[in-house]
Amino acid sequence: MKNNKISLAEVARAAGVSKMTASRVIRDEGGFSEKTRHKVMAEVDRLGYLPNRLATVFAGDKKSTFVGVSIPELGNEIFAQLLEGIDRKLVAFAHQTVLGMTEHALDQEEAWIETVLSWQPAGLIVTGRSHSPRAMQLLKGAGIPIVEIWDFNSNPLDMCVGLNHFDSGYSMGRYLGELGYTKFGYVGTSHDTANAASSRLAGFTKAAEDAGGTVKKKLLLKDVPGFYTGLYGTEQLLAAHKDVDVIFYQNDNMAVGGYEYCRRQGLEIPRDIGIAGWGDLPIASIQPYRLTSIAVPHLRIGQIAAEMLLAQVNQHPIKRTRDVGFKLIPGSTCRMQLKTDIDEDIDHSKT
Amino acid sequence: MKNNKISLAEVARAAGVSKMTASRVIRDEGGFSEKTRHKVMAEVDRLGYLPNRLATVFAGDKKSTFVGVSIPELGNEIFAQLLEGIDRKLVAFAHQTVLGMTEHALDQEEAWIETVLSWQPAGLIVTGRSHSPRAMQLLKGAGIPIVEIWDFNSNPLDMCVGLNHFDSGYSMGRYLGELGYTKFGYVGTSHDTANAASSRLAGFTKAAEDAGGTVKKKLLLKDVPGFYTGLYGTEQLLAAHKDVDVIFYQNDNMAVGGYEYCRRQGLEIPRDIGIAGWGDLPIASIQPYRLTSIAVPHLRIGQIAAEMLLAQVNQHPIKRTRDVGFKLIPGSTCRMQLKTDIDEDIDHSKT
DNA sequence: TAGAGGAATGTTACGGGTAACTCAATAGTA
DNA sequence: TACTATTGAGTTACCCGTAACATTCCTCTA
């Protein structure tokens, strides 16, 4: 475990050339003879020389190939996939992801932004559009491309790709209202910071009221938005409000958990209660029922974010905001449609 | 979007002191007056100075606070959680994760290792124990702490934490054999490289043979190891081999998908066929049935890996290998036990 | 064969911090 | 008062590559 860091100078000395010549050979930028190339490359291999990229970036006053990517949590599969989409694209263009998990906390995001900026990244991709004042200031002054993702925002700091979560919540609320539901419930997880899920809830609440119904109970749990949280959250919600006739969940995983709770209680769905999720997550594809949900192109968000960032890094012109939309998926976990035909009205997908 | 990078020299000039004095104040290393501290800090705030950590690392010939973390994929929730555990711990100790997704390909891992080493990281955490020859060489010569995780290996390059996947597969095979199963099936995903899942399959196969049974079919799909893959994989497997009496899946999510396929086909579980998963994933907690599986402390693996690495970085003595073990979970998706009482035999947990 | 021009290679300076050392000013002591 | 500590602050050199410029060595041509 000895640190045998070999520098360019050592390679050059071993090859009997100047640092500069060795540098030219290694970067293959021409201006050297074939004989020299052989000598240098032989020493590179023999000594196991690895260039020190810190020095390169530092020397050239260039940007590094780091891209800071912040997401709230990895336990939430939708964010894990977002990150996967981003990293794939970045790697394909020789950039590296420096991870930042904010855990939905603005102060953690701020601390991460400060740290990652000190490494001179080529750009930043941050989830969400609410940031602390100091974070905003840091981002604005960074002088590098910044992409805000997830929650669409027509007036971003720099660039933005995502969808309108408020609208998606509103769509679901209106849809459920049109099916005749009036006593709504919501089960999600809570954080100190307003995030995309809170926007969905706000939209949902608005739609519920517009439809003449009420959200009887908004249950926000201090937990991860997963299967089991959905199950026990539903128990809590129904214990307090037995008359709720449909429950909207923060995501499909929670909804599937909620469905299972209802089933265990002998409730029949959708006869006794309606269940609606969000995200059209993989679990929905293998249930005995078709979950009512909202489909979101989350992989595409990640890819587009990385593309926008790379385009900006390379000074290619690009549209700075992208609303990827969403699509309501009527399922069998809510009662059949009662009032009007709304098929043509439910696709908010913007390609 | 102007790049207004402020250097230490500018702060120093503005404050009317030398670079060195400004540096001392900013690092709070003493040797300056209160008056000077005020002058300097005032300029830091006014100019929005952010230190350039590249320069610091570069100058001091020190290690950075980067830690390279490679995992095969993020779509697989078990790896996402592994990464989450690692990043939490690293961040708590002021280190940053540089992500590497290898997609189970040795050449991608190798390329990533080379790149990440060129950034002078403090250490590396890599998933799996098989690496390309050049990758091995790079890792050995890196002179920094390296932790191999996931697949336990008593003779690691440097440090290792994980579990014995072969044994976990063997345990499941033996358990199923003891329940009287003889015609085994396996559904998983395939990759060019031998990985932990292949070790499990190897162990499973060995146990099946030791028990006098056979693995009728090993189905390896080119897909992600998720719910739907399990569903259609089961369809394929049963289409080819109707007489299989129990199926072992690469993970619980695939098993749940397989269960759903069987249900749709009118098969009753465990009467008509047995289902066994691996990982004790969250989905298992909310099914109407208790899935037979193997529980693995994957979050702990991540935490321990980060702890080992940080201990090594700080030159604290530490045990260099840790086998976290696993635990077989008998469920209701396999037939009840027939032969002997094996309860005391199934816990391979090593705390 | 001198001179031009290009190819190959070398030299110097620099980037943004910090270690190690030096120097100046102030305070304390006999 | 003269001398010594102590404190505060400045100077210099260096980390490892690369840009920009300088130089050497050929080769080819008139």
Report domain extents, chain B.
Answer: 8-51, 66-163+299-325, 165-296+328-345
Percent of chain B with pLDDT over 70: 94
Q: Report the distance separating Cα B298 and Cα B79, nearest Å.
A: 8
Calculate the angstrom distance between C1' of D14 and CA of A55. Answer: 13
Query: What pLDDT is recorded for position A20?
Result: 94
Q: Mean pLDDT throughout B90-112? A: 96
Interface test with B, best of A26, A50, A74, A251 (most B CBs within 10 A): A74
User: Is any atom of strand D within 7 angstroms of residue B164's beta carbon?
Assistant: no
**Count of pairs with CB atoms under 8 A, one residue in A, one in B:** 162
Q: Two tokens at A270?
A: 């959708």
Query: What pLDDT is recorded for position B345?
Result: 46
With CA of B35 and C1' of each nucleotide, the nearest comes out as D8
The C-alpha R_g of chain A, in whole angstroms, comes to 26
Q: Report the distance separating Cα A119 and Cα A67, nearest Å.
A: 10
For B168, counting Cβ atoms within 10 Å of its Cβ (0-12 exposed, 13-18 middle, 19+ buried), the class is: buried
| Distance of residue A115 Cα from the nearest chain B Cα, in angstroms | 9
Kindly report the average pLDDT of chain B as a whole number: 92
Beta bridge partner(s), residue B159? B147
Q: Two tokens at A140?
A: 């604005």
Note the pLDDT tens digit of each residue in B162-194: 999 999 999 999 999 999 999 999 999 998 888
Q: Report the distance separating Cα B79 and Cα B262, nearest Å.
A: 28
Query: What pLDDT is recorded for position B1?
Result: 34
Q: Does B66-163+299-325 match B165-296+328-345 in CATH topology?
A: yes
Q: Are A122 and A63 in contact (CB under 8 A)?
A: yes
Polymer length in residues for chain A? 351
Tens-binned pLDDT, residue by residue, of chain A (351 aa): 334 689 999 999 999 999 999 999 999 988 899 999 999 999 999 999 999 999 999 887 677 999 999 999 998 999 999 999 999 999 999 999 999 999 999 999 999 999 999 999 999 999 999 999 999 999 999 999 999 999 999 999 999 999 999 999 999 999 999 999 999 999 999 988 889 999 999 999 999 999 999 999 999 999 999 999 999 999 999 999 999 999 999 999 999 999 999 999 999 999 999 999 999 999 999 999 999 999 999 999 999 999 999 999 998 999 999 999 999 999 999 988 655 544 444 556 665
Q: Is the pLDDT of residue B67 over 60?
A: yes
| Distance of residue B168 Cα from the nearest chain A Cα, in angstroms | 24
**Cβ-defined contact of B88 to A101 (cutoff 8 Å):** yes
User: Is any atom of strand D within 7 angstroms of residue A56's beta carbon?
Assistant: yes
- How far from chain centre, in Å, is Cα B231? 25
pLDDT bucket at B61, cuts 50 / 70 / 90: low
The B residues from 110 to 169 touching A (CB cutoff 8 Å) are: 112, 114-120, 137-138, 141, 143-145, 158
Q: Mean pLDDT throughout B249-264? A: 97
Beta strand A96-101 with A66-71 is: parallel
Q: Are B92 and B67 in contact (CB under 8 A)?
A: no
Q: Two tokens at B105?
A: 């390909």
Task: Give domain A165-296+328-345's CATH number out of 1.10.3720.10, 3.40.50.150, 3.40.50.2300, 2.60.120.10.
Answer: 3.40.50.2300
Query: What pLDDT is recorded for position A332?
Result: 96
The CATH number of the domain covering residues in B8-51: 1.10.260.40
Residue A177: phi and psi, rounded to 5, are -60, -40
Of A146, A216, A345, A187, which is closest to residue A275 (Cα–Cα)? A187
* SS3 category, B253: helix
Beta bridge partner(s), residue A66? A96
Q: Angle A38-A42-A46 (CA atoms, 0-180°, nearest 5)?
A: 175
What stretches of chain B adopt beta strand conformation (E)?
Answer: 66-71, 96-101, 123-127, 146-151, 159-163, 183-189, 214-221, 246-249, 274-276, 293-295, 321-323, 327-329
**CB proximity list for B200: less than 8 A, separation 6 or greater:** B165, B166, B168, B169, B172, B250, B278
Q: Report the distance separating Cα B194 and Cα B206, nearest Å.
A: 16
Query: What pLDDT is recorded for position B158?
Result: 96
**For residues A285, A287, A289 and A294, what is the CA-based torsion angle, rounded to 10 degrees?**
-40
| Strand D near-CB residues (< 7 Å), B 20-59 | 20-21, 30-33, 35-36, 58-59
Residue B319: phi and psi, rounded to 5, are -70, 130
Q: Report the distance separating Cα B43 and Cα A5, nearest Å.
A: 38
- How far from chain centre, in Å, is Cα A111? 19
Q: Which residue has the higher pLDDT, B348 or B156?
A: B156
Query: What pLDDT is recorded for position A61?
Result: 65
Helix (H) / strand (E) containing B273: none
Query: What pLDDT is recorded for position B2?
Result: 36
Which chain B residues are Cβ-neighbours of A118 within 8 angstroms? 50-53
* SS3 category, B11: helix
With CA of A17 and C1' of each nucleotide, the nearest comes out as C9
pLDDT bucket at B63, cuts 50 / 70 / 90: confident
**Cβ-defined contact of A96 to B98 (cutoff 8 Å):** yes
Q: Report the distance separating Cα A102 and Cα A271, nearest Å.
A: 41
Q: Two tokens at A110?
A: 């701020």
Note the pLDDT tens digit of each residue in B114-126: 999 999 999 999 9
Strand order in the sheet with B123-127: A321-323, A159-163, A146-151, A123-127, A66-71, A96-101, B96-101, B66-71, B123-127, B146-151, B159-163, B321-323
Domain B66-163+299-325 part of CATH 1.20.1270.10: no
DSSP string, A179-199: TT--EEEEEEE--SS--HHHH
Q: Mean pLDDT throughout B76-95? A: 95
Q: Report the distance separating Cα B282 and Cα A208, nearest Å.
A: 32
Query: What pLDDT is recorded for position A342?
Result: 47
Q: Report the distance separating Cα A66 and Cα A119, nearest Å.
A: 8
Calculate the angstrom distance between C1' of D24 and CA of A33. Answer: 15
Q: Are A173 and A207 in contact (CB under 8 A)?
A: yes
Strand order in the sheet with B274-276: B214-221, B183-189, B246-249, B274-276
With CA of B27 and C1' of each nucleotide, the nearest comes out as C18
Query: What pLDDT is recorded for position B118?
Result: 94
Q: Which nucleotides of chain D have an atom under 7 angstroms from any protein CB?
A: 7-12, 14-20
Specify the residue for token string 């640190």.
Answer: A3
| Distance of residue B1 Cα from the nearest chain A Cα, in angstroms | 5
**CB proximity list for B250: less than 8 A, separation 6 or greater:** B186, B187, B188, B189, B197, B200, B225, B278
Interface residues, strand C, Cβ cutoff 7 Å: A 16-21, 24, 30-33, 35-36, 55, 58-59, 61; B 5, 7-9, 19-20, 23, 26-27, 29, 49, 51-52, 55-56, 58-60
Query: What pLDDT is recorded for position B131?
Result: 94
With CA of A59 and C1' of each nucleotide, the nearest comes out as C15
Q: Report the distance separating Cα B115 and Cα A82, nearest Å.
A: 23
